[in-house]
Amino acid sequence: MKNSMTVQKLTPRRILIAEDDPVTRRMLQVFLEKWGYEVIAAADGIDALRILERDDAPTLAILDWMMPGKDGLQVCASVRALSARPYVYVLLLTARNEKDDLLQGLESGADDYLTKPFHAAELRARLQVGQRILELQAGLTQAHEELLYRATHDELTGLVNRRMIMEAIEREHSRQIRIVGNFAIIVLDVDHFKNVNDNHGHLTGDAVLKEVARRMAACVRPYDTVGRYGGEEFVIVAPSCERSAAAGLSDRILSAIRSAPIESAGTNISVTASCGVSISNRSNMLNPEALLRLADQALYRAKEAGRNRAEFAEEAELAPSV
């Protein structure tokens, strides 16, 4: 019987060769391609730096010390000065073997060096060390990104969490003070959510929250922040949003939530939500605490008025507070 498993092809490791001598460059290319590398070649330092500055730059590089345009040290120093880029492991190729010269190469940012004439086996071994270091760094970077995501997002819905919501409100409040703009917050609560959990179970309740979050996220603008505040309560932070725009946004969200039943475990559940809206504008600049308090009060009135609706903070409640 044939094996039904598909073998995943490994992506070739990409490497840059920067060497002005065509014979040495060709020899390096033959070795590297034999070892499974995808080779990108450059004949001078200027071309090498241009390649390493690209978004799709290789993360392994062999740089000759002496090259026209820019030497290997200059290229290495320029690469190290690039910010927010994947790390490039640089192997410096040089005919110099004086200790001071080698130290200078490492101080320029090179990770390793190899003196000419080199042995193919030594070159391969040093590149394997570089590859292991790059893989280790990639793993650490991925772990850091995962930890950062978990610290800033709600695990169930994938929306930002309460802490990030508060940071977004604080950020808009600070921006408003600087430029005298306006912004709105919408506090939304799923109606009768306890009944969903009691009648259908918490797994179904989780499915409802995830779908409500998805529908909300589909309604907001790219620069709005939508997050889970806690339980079945969500908050939307909407920059540059006056009353009419906030009314339109809240109506779209409520309409999307009630537009179709949510299916879970073979059961269709009709869901509605209520929301309270408060706005901080140039005539009523409200601090984050006041905005949340007023939106909560408006949400309470929406619940009292029959749910499935939006209510705005009342004018009498609005008082300037920076």
Q: Point out the residues that are catalytic.
A: 232
Sheet containing 225-230: which strands, arranged edge to edge?
225-230, 233-239, 183-190, 273-280, 310-312
Phi, psi of 7 (to 5 degrees): -90, 120
Is 272:191 a contact under the CB 8 Å cutoff?
A: yes
Buried b (16+ CB within 10 A) or exposed e, 17-37: bbbbeeebbeebbebbeeeeb
Separation of CA 41 from chain center: 32
Is 134:60 a contact under the CB 8 Å cutoff?
A: yes
Buried b (16+ CB within 10 A) or exposed e, 251-279: eebbebbeeeebebeeeebebebbbbbbb
Separation of CA 310 from chain center: 32
